[in-house]
Amino acid sequence: MCNGRWSGLLHVRDLVANDRGAVAEALTLSLAFSEDEVRVALDMFDGGMNGDYALVGVEDEGSLRGYACFGKAVLSRSSWYLYWICVHPASQGRGYGRAIEAAVEESVRAAGGERLVLETSGRTDYERSRRFYDGAGFTLVGQIPDFFKPGDDCLIYCKVLA
C-alpha cells in the first residue's frame, strides 16, 4: 500500500456513521459540487448507513482523505453505478482518488459486478474529473445535451471490469 505518494499507512475501509463530518467537509471544500449536490450526496451517505448504497473511503495518517458511494443498478444483472467519488482538496493529486476507485472496483467485482457506470458533467471545470475517468479506463458511452442546465451536458461513462 506504500508507493511513495502515500504515508505508508493508507487504509481503505468501509465508511461508518462517524465519517459523515469528514465526507461533508471534503464535498463542500472540493468546490466541485453545488449546495444541492452536497445535500444529495449526504442524503446518500445516510442511505448508505441504512444499507441502500456502499461507501468506501481511504484513510491516511488517521484522516479520511476521500470516499466513494456506489451501488448495484437494480434492474441489471451485474452493472453498478459509481454515484460519488470525492477526495478532500487538501489531499488531491496524491493518488487517493485512484486508490478509492480501485477499492470500488474490487468491492464490485467481489459482489459479482462486471461493469461500473457513472454520470458526470460536460462543463469545462470538470475536465480534470473526466481525465481521471479516462485514465481509470472508463469509456464515454452517452451524452445528454444540457441535462444539468443549459450548457451543462450529462456525460455517461462505463468501465467493464476485468
In the chain, what is the straight-line distance between the N-terminal and C-terminal CA atoms, in Å?
21
Q: Segment 140-159, which members bind its own copies (CB under 8 A)? A: 141-150, 154, 156, 158
Q: What are phi and psi of 54, to 5 degrees?
A: -100, 145
Q: Which of 12, 24, 72, 79 binds its own copies (CB under 8 A)?
A: 79
Q: Which of 2, 77, 110, 162 binds its own copies (CB under 8 A)?
A: 77
Q: What is the C-alpha to C-alpha distance for residues 76 and 98, in angstroms, rounded to an integer? A: 26
- The cell numbers describing 57, all together, are 473511503
Q: Which of 10, 85, 117, 136 binds its own copies (CB under 8 A)?
A: 117
Per rule CB under 8 A, count of chain residues that contact its own copies: 28
12 vs 58, 94, 97, CA distance in Å? 4, 15, 11
Q: Which stretch binds its own copies (CB under 8 A): 4-12, 33-41, 50-58, 63-71?
A: 33-41
Check residue 74 for interaction with its own copies (CB under 8 A).
Answer: yes
161 vs 58, 77, 106, 112, 135, CA distance in Å? 21, 14, 9, 10, 14
CA angle 115, 119, 124 (to 5 degrees): 135
Q: Which of 24, 40, 49, 161 binds its own copies (CB under 8 A)?
A: 40
Q: Which of 115, 123, 126, 132 binds its own copies (CB under 8 A)?
A: 115
Task: Using CB under 8 A, list all residues that contact its own copies.
Answer: 34, 36-37, 40, 73-79, 114-115, 117, 141-150, 154, 156, 158, 160
